[in-house]
């Protein structure tokens, strides 16, 4: 069945390639789950994202909440490029959605990768 895309949003960090923000072990140790994982988050409430590596993205929301998405499989070049795009339906980004790594240059879509659940967390630095 065809579901029209009601709201499309492209996220691209302004930092250039090769600037992945992996956390130091002591920073990672401070991160704690803050509730049950959620299948979807509101795309319009995403303030910024931080790609930590090829399989981890932190979503910083309006209001201060942070969700960590651990992709079920490694996404080639995600940690290197730190940029990805996606399309959403009904303003929801969900664990069934696909992100596309944006390669530079020439800013074309790279690998397509599935998302996991969105785990609310505390202690995540920028």
pLDDT of residue 114: 97
pLDDT of residue 24: 82
Map out the domains of the chain as residue ranges.
7-14+35-122
For residue 24, give the 3-state DSSP assignment: coil
Phi, psi of 96 (to 5 degrees): -90, -5
For residues 89 and 98, the answer to whether their CB atoms sit within 8 Å is no
The H or E element containing residue 67 is strand 66-70
| Cis status of the peptide bond prior to 74, with omega within 30 of 0 | no
Summary count for the chain: helices (H), strands (E): 2, 11
pLDDT in tens, the chain (126 residues): 444 443 344 443 333 344 456 778 888 878 888 999 999 999 999 999 999 999 999 999 999 999 999 999 999 999 999 999 999 989 999 999 999 999 887 767 789 999 999 999 998 877
Query: Distance between CA atoms of 21 and 51, rounded to whole angstroms?
Result: 6
**H-type alpha helices, the chain:** 25-30, 78-81
Full-model pTM:
0.80
pLDDT of residue 2: 41
């Amino acid at each position: 069945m065809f579901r029209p895309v009601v709201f499309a949003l492209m996220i691209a960090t302004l930092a250039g390639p090769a600037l992945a923000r992996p956390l130091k072990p002591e920073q990672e140790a401070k991160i704690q789950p803050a509730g049950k994982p959620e299948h979807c988050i509101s795309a319009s409430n995403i303030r910024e994202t931080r790609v930590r590596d090829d399989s981890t993205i932190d979503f910083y929301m309006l209001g201060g909440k942070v969700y960590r998405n651990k992709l079920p499989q490694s996404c080639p070049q995600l940690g290197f490029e730190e940029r990805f795009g996606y399309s959403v339906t009904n303003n929801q980004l969900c664990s069934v959605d696909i992100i596309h790594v944006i390669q530079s240059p020439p800013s074309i879509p790279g690998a397509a990768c599935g998302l996991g659940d969105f785990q609310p967390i505390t202690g995540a630095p920028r």
